[in-house]
Amino acid sequence: MNRTSSPKQLSRPPESPLQYVKGIGPKRAAVLPAFGIRTIEDLLTYFPFDYLDRSSILPISGLKKHLNTDKPVTVIGEVFRLEIRRARRTNRLMFFLTIKDRQDYLTCVWFEGVQWFKDAFEVGELLAVSAFPEVDKLGRVQFIHPEFDRLKGAMEEDEPDWGKMFNTGAIIPKYSSTAELTRVGLDSRGFRRIIRNALKTHLPRIGETLSRDILERHGLKGMALAIEQIHFPSDTVNLEAARRRLKFDELFFLQLMLAYRKRSLEGEGNGIAFSSKSVLARQLVESLPFTLTKAQRKVLREIAADMQSAKTMNRLLQGDVGSGKTIVALMAMLVAVESGYQVALMAPTEILAEQHYRTLTAHLKGLPVNVRLLVGGQRKKLREDVLEDIRSGRAHITVGTHAVIEEDVGFARLGLVVIDEQHRFGVMQRATLREKGYRPDVLVMTATPIPRTLALTLYGDLDVSVIDELPANRRPIKTAVRTESQKERVFQFVREEVKRGRQAYVVFPLIEESEKVDLKAATEEFQRLRTEVFPGFKIGLLHGRMKSDEKEAVMLKFQAGEIQILTATTVIEVGIDIPNATVMIIENAERFGLSQLHQLRGRVGRGADQSYCILIADYGWFDAHRKGKEVRELQVERRDAAVRLETMVETTDGFRIAEVDLQLRGPGEFFGTRQSGLPQFKIASLVTDRDLLALARTEAFTLVGNDPQLRDPAHVPIRRHFEEKYRGALGLGDVG
Ligand code: ADP
Ligand code: MG
């Protein structure tokens, strides 16, 4: 999906059109492409990251009142004095810059890059400087390594006087820059200049990208006006309107692409129409020791309707941990099997694939359904046998990891693919299926709830079913936070529960960057727990570096009760289902993301007994990691960690937890991996632009429904922009 956000690649002409913009020239034009600016359009959509306006500026004398802000503050003043001094104790050079506003003086200090900074300023030039204010030994406020923005200096010809403009109330854009850009004069001020020049000549040529009726329906400004105002707003109202328009644009065109992809996934009604008989599914329901919840029945109806129609199903099944997605998926599988088709069930890890295999086999005992497991590490003969069953169609259901579709496995009649994923199985893999010539119905199950804005973006080409209810026999898990010093009491509690016949998990964090170190720590801690804390108990260890048959053996023992206390890294995170396990201890809980904590907690509370989740958190961890980090960064981390732990104690609602997690981490980090497949927006935000996203989606899907070829003359601007920007994007063969 990343492809959508970058304009199509043209073979670049020998000369960049940028160099003819006043103030750029060949030298700067040569540097800009490395920063994604190749065309005039790129330049005009290089949006400010912030603005200076008078309401955001403090007088220097007012800084003392803002020593504890969590945002940098800005002051404006003239350069008064420049000075290099040597620190007495460390003998290092330091650069001091004093600026002066109407009443007061402020000193800014640099420890790094002294040689460069000493020549960077001139006495008398006007600067905006931003930093977290700090206090020196004498109690004076100072800025350390501030960001700065030149408002006036040795002015280049015909450059507006930003300082004067500022004083008359203008809002001045701030552009992000880098050392390399600054070297060629493209600091924030340099960008202001070239963008202003580019606007002068190119503004009249900026075309509209939306239809008039969409603009009018949502009170959106025209494109050219929005571009002008985002850079040089005449006031805050116009700035806000410009931002809204440009955000809408980004969200709309992404949703338009998803609408087309959905259309093409659905096919022209030449998908499989499964029979509506469901004898097997009914037999399964009768054999269950429980009745399905209302929510499970509702989503089953949605899935069945999709499967019976000739449209290809592409459905996302969302539900909180323990809401009973597996049984729902199994019933869908039986519908496919009964219609004479094969099913592939794919899990993100081998452990999970093996567990699904066991669960399915247990549920299907007595039914004429052949389930096979395909994972790495199987003996060759067994593997050949499984592959042969798949090829011949004898394997009704094949359970495995993604390798099932990625390798050369040939299905005789693949009709349904169920993907149990932890946000790992993205759009590309779904496309792989099609490439291999299969057109099965697809059901994607998420392991944990996803905030709505992310779901509509990442899975926006799917229909969504939500199981919004837990089985009635569940008792809410009791969650508490304890410190390191209270650990002995926590362990005592574990001993008591285990003596009563329950089982427990003790989870250690394993963070990728230091996997080896953490693994060593986890192994040592395991030895300590085994010999010192829980002597006489049966205790096991599970971690990601173990071979798959070792892992499997451990899981089987835990399931059989031969292990009472399972110490593990986060490999137990996804999907493991052992109802007798009722205690979850999470060590260093402050190191886990919120959704991950929720997912881990979901490993208990799966049976009828009261379950407990105890989060051990110790802020000592921050001291260990203090080195190299700003105090303020640590404070933010610490505050976020506290919010995470509090949220865990407060609620068990996975959808609410997911929203808080998104607020804290932002969309890129939400999934715990950068390759989440989320598009890079220039201005829209999946955290804050929820309502706008909903509007944009409705408009885009309505448009594709009413005028799929975009033939209506009123839709020409949309069509032109879409073709230009998104041509070549996945699955758009049928546009235009
Ligand atoms: P998840 O949605 O996390 O995948 P599972 O499908 O693994 O949840 O179900 C969790 C547990 O709840 C399983 O042991 C399953 O058999 C059981 N379960 C599923 N549906 C119900 C129900 N309607 N009533 C009671 N228990 C159920
Ligand atoms: Mg599951």
In tens, the pLDDT along 95-125 reads: 999 999 988 999 999 988 888 888 888 898 8
The 3-state DSSP class for residue 274 equals: coil
Highest mean pLDDT among 428-432, 477-481, 576-580: 477-481
Please, which residues have CB within 8 angstroms of residue 652's CB and are 6 or more apart in sequence?
476, 477, 479, 601
Highest mean pLDDT among 376-380, 407-411, 442-446: 442-446
CA 85 / ligand 2 centre spacing (Å): 63
CA 325 / ligand 2 centre spacing (Å): 6
CA 214 / ligand 1 centre spacing (Å): 45
Query: Per-residue pLDDT for 228 more than 70?
Result: yes
Closest residue by Cα to atom 13, ligand 1, is 324
**Which tokens in the block code for residue 710?**
């975009």
pLDDT score for 724? 83
Query: Per-residue pLDDT for 448 more than 70?
Result: yes
Kindly report the pTM of this predicted structure. Answer: 0.80
Residues with a beta carbon under 5 angstroms from ion ligand 2:
326, 575
| CATH number for the domain running over 50-174 | 2.40.50.140
CA 321 / ligand 2 centre spacing (Å): 7
Beta carbons of 392 and 412 less than 8 angstroms apart: yes
Closest residue by Cα to atom 1, ligand 1, is 322
Which one-letter amino acid corresponds to residue 235?
D
**How does pLDDT run across 574-585, given as a tens digit for each residue?**
556 788 999 999
The CATH T-level fold of domain 478-651 is: Rossmann fold (3.40.50)
Closest residue by Cα to atom 24, ligand 1, is 471
Domains 50-174 and 279-309+324-446 share a fold: no
pLDDT score for 493? 97
Among all bound ligands, the one having the nearest atom to the CA of 449 is 1
CA 288 / ligand 1 centre spacing (Å): 11
Which DSSP helix (H) or strand (E) runs through 482? strand 478-482
CATH architecture, domain 279-309+324-446: 3-Layer(aba) Sandwich (3.40)
- pLDDT above 70 as % of the chain: 88
Closest residue by Cα to atom 26, ligand 1, is 471
User: What whole-number distance in Å separates Cα of residue 258 and Cα of residue 461?
Assistant: 5
CA 579 / ligand 2 centre spacing (Å): 13
Atom of ligand 1 nearest to the CA of 579: 14
Among all bound ligands, the one having the nearest atom to the CA of 575 is 2
CA 649 / ligand 1 centre spacing (Å): 23
**How does pLDDT run across 488-498, given as a tens digit for each residue?**
999 999 999 99
Q: Give the chain's mean pLDDT.
A: 85
Query: Per-residue pLDDT for 143 more than 70?
Result: yes
Q: What spatial distance separates the first Cα and last Cα of the chain, rounded to whole Å?
A: 20
Residues framing ligand 1 (Cβ under 6 A): 290, 292-293, 296, 319, 321-327, 471, 473, 577, 579, 606
| pLDDT band at 11; cut points 50, 70, 90 | very low
Atom of ligand 1 nearest to the CA of 473: 25
Where in the chain are the domains?
50-174, 279-309+324-446, 478-651
User: What whole-number distance in Å separates Cα of residue 719 and Cα of residue 422?
Assistant: 35
pLDDT score for 632? 60
Please, which residues have CB within 8 angstroms of residue 486's CB and are 6 or more apart in sequence?
none
**How does pLDDT run across 609-662, given as a tens digit for each residue?**
899 999 998 755 444 444 445 556 666 777 888 889 999 999 989 999 999 999
Please, which residues have CB within 8 angstroms of residue 333's CB and are 6 or more apart in sequence?
343, 345, 397, 416, 418
Query: Per-residue pLDDT for 362 more than 50?
Result: yes
Beta carbons of 13 and 689 less than 8 angstroms apart: no
